[in-house]
Amino acid sequence: MSKKRATLSACVASSALLLGVISATPASAVNLFANCTTTGANGDVSISNYNGASDFIGGSLGAWDTSADGHHVRVRLITKDSTGTIKYWAWHANYNGAGSTQSWDFTATDRGGFFDMGVQVGRFEGDTILNACANWA
């Protein structure tokens, strides 16, 4: 191989390596998921593009009514901040009856940051919770 060709090959290889370093991302976002099942109800949360210790998240919640018992089901986001304090977000209710599924997209902001996320699912009579479950992503 000639000296000129060897130099050109070395430059191309160095450029390719540099391009790989420049285009690499330092941290990759992940999608988080949690679900739980209790008598008559099933639900989940999916968090999109979580980058770790963020103060903003987005995703979706889902609630399934699994029993023809005349009760409705609810689902909500639960989070922990940097101090470990748990925050219980607003309930979302599925009143559509047995076998039905309902979902909601959400965004959430917390200055304390989001260090852990999960879902809580419950079966209700009016505003009285009959049974529930919770699970962390």
64: β partners? 42, 101
SS3 99: coil
- pTM (2 d.p.): 0.78
d(CA 102, CA 75): 10
Asked whether the CA dihedral 64, 66, 72, 77 is positive or negative, the reply is negative
**DSSP 8-state code for residue 25:** -
Strands 41-50 and 54-65 come out as antiparallel
- In this structure, whether the domain defined by 30-136 belongs to CATH 2.60.40 is answered with yes
* Domain boundary assignment for the chain: 30-136
Residue with tokens 């391009």: 19
Share of the chain above pLDDT 70, in %: 80
Each residue's pLDDT tens digit, 43-83: 999 999 888 778 899 999 999 999 999 999 999 999 999 89
In the structure encoding, which two tokens stand for residue 113, read together?
């940051």
Q: What is the pLDDT of residues 110-121, one digit of tens each?
A: 998 999 999 999
